[in-house]
Copies of this chain bind each other. A is one copy, B any other.
Amino acid sequence: MKVYLRGAATTKFGELWNISPRTLVGNAVNDALTQSGLNSKDIQAIFVGNMLSGALGNQEHLGAFFAEELGMIVPAMRVEGACASGGLAMHAGVLAALSGSYENVLVVGVEKMTDYQPEEVASLLMGAGSEAEREAGATFPALYALIARAHMEKYGTTEEEMAAVSVKNHYHASLNSHAHFTSPVTIKKVLRSPVVASPLKLLDCSPISDGAAAVVISTVKPKSKKHVAIVASSVSTDTLGLSERHDLTTLQSAVRASSNAYEIAGIGPKDVDVAEVHDCFTIAEIIAMEDLGFFPRGIAGKSILEGETRIGKKLVVNISGGLKASGHPVGATGVKQIVETYQQLLGIAGPKQIQGARVGLTHNVGGSGATAVIHILALQS
C-alpha cells in the first residue's frame, strides 16, 4: 500500500444555515489543496461521500456537480453507504490511486442536514436500516438503545460509563474550534439530560450537523521529510437489521475490517496512538474500543470512565470531539476522521495537539454496523 496523504481540511461543523454545500466543499477543498502544494489542475479524479443530498435537496449526480463547482473537469463519482459514505469514498479513492489509473485523487465528504425538520432527517436516516426496522417505526436512537441494553446486561456496563464518553468527547471538542459543540459537559449533566430512547439520553446522542471535509491523496511520496501514509484501508459489511445478528454487543463488520486492516498494516491495536471512532451514540464508542481490540470485552466502559482514552494518555480517542461533540454531517464524518488523524500525526492540530503520535486509526460505521470502514495512517520520517 503506497498511498500518501498530501493535504486535508474540514470546515467548521455545526448548524451552518447561511453556507451552501458548494461553499462548504469549496472551502474544505481549497484548504486541503493549499496544504498539499498541488493545484486544482493536478487532481485527476474526485470521490464524493454523501448520503442524503438526493432525498433532502433533490440534487443527485454530486460527482459531476462538485467537479464543475471546483473547476476540475475530471472523472468523478458519488459513493454512498449511509453514515459510512465518507469512509467508503476514502476507500474508493485509495483503490483508484492504487490502481495506477490516477496519481492525485481528491476525496470529499459533505452533508447539509440542518435546513430540514429533524424528524424528516431522522426518518430519512432510517434509509440506512432494514425494511423491518422501518416498518416497526424504529429510529437509530432506538436501535442503539437496544444495543446499549444488551451490553449493559452482558457486561454490567453503566449509564455513567456511557456518560463518560460524552464528557470526554465534549472536553476534546472544547479544544477544537471546528467542532459543533465546544462547551464541556459533566457526568451529572449527561445523566440528567432528557431521555431519547432509554438508556440513551440527549447527551448520549450525536447531533444533526452540516459540514464538509476534503483530503488529497497521492501515489507520489511527499517531498517533506515528515509525511503521512495510508497503510491500510479495509471495509466489511454485516446484516442491515439487528434482528439478524447473533450478538448485539459487538459490530462484527468492525471486528472483521479492523483485523484485516491490522494485518495489512502489520501492526496491532497496541501500536495505535490516536483513534477517531464512530461514536454516533456513546455506547457505540464503548463497543468500538472492544471491537478494535483496544480493551478486552466488558472493560472499555470502565476504562473510559477512568480517563484512559483522554488527551494526555497513551491512546487518545476522538480528540476531535468525535461525532458526539465535533458533529456528524453524515457524508463528511468518515473523511473528517482522516483529516483529524492526519493533523495529529503531522503535529499541526493546534490547541488539541497530542504528543508523539505516530500511528492513527479511523473507524467509520454505516447504519447500526452494516458497513464498517477502517483506515490506518502512519507518520513516516
Contact = CB atoms under 8 A, between A and B. Distances in A.
Contacts of A134: 58
Contact of A235 (B59, B75, B91): B75
Contacts of A88: 63, 77
Contacts of A82: 60-61, 64
B237 A75 contact: yes
Contacts of A308: none
Contacts of A77: 79-81, 88, 91-92, 235, 371
Contact of A75 (B80, B91, B244): B91
Nearest to A238: B73
Interface stretch (A124-132, A281-289, A316-324): A124-132
Contacts of A68: 237-240, 244, 370
Contacts of A94: 99
A54 B126 CA distance: 10
Interface in A137-175: none
A165 to B, nearest CB: 25
A367 interface: yes
B64 A371 contact: yes
Interface string A37-81: 000000001000001101100111111110110000111111111
Interface in A95-151: 95-96, 98-101, 123-124, 126-129, 131, 134
A73 B236 contact: yes
Nearest to A257: B75
A235 to B, nearest CB: 4
A75 B92 CA distance: 11
Nearest to A373: B75
The number of times this chain is found in the oligomer is 2
Contacts of A238: 64, 68, 73
A212 to B, nearest CB: 18
A366 interface: yes
Contact of A76 (B45, B54, B63, B237): B237
A111 to B, nearest CB: 12
A17 to B, nearest CB: 18
A257 to B, nearest CB: 8
Contact of A73 (B55, B67, B237, B367): B237
Contacts of A124: 54, 58
A76 B371 contact: yes
A80 B81 contact: no
B92 A63 contact: no
Interface-central residue, A62, A79, A94, A99, by most chain B CB under 10 Å: A99
Contacts of A128: 60-61
A76 to B, nearest CB: 5
B370 A61 contact: yes
Contacts of A55: 54-55, 58, 60
Given A77-B80, A80-B78, A127 B59 contact: yes
A75 B128 CA distance: 16
Q: Which 3 A-B residue pairings sit nearest by Cβ, starting from the closest?
A: A75-B235, A60-B127, A64-B370
Given A61-B81, A74-B237, 4 more contacts: A68-B239, A75-B91, A78-B79, A101-B233
28 contacts: A51-B60, A52-B60, A54-B80, A54-B124, A55-B55, A58-B126, A58-B134, A59-B127, A60-B80, A61-B81, A61-B367, A63-B371, A64-B82, A64-B367, A65-B240, A68-B237, A68-B239, A73-B253, A75-B236, A76-B235, A76-B371, A77-B88, A78-B81, A79-B79, A79-B92, A98-B99, A98-B101, A99-B99
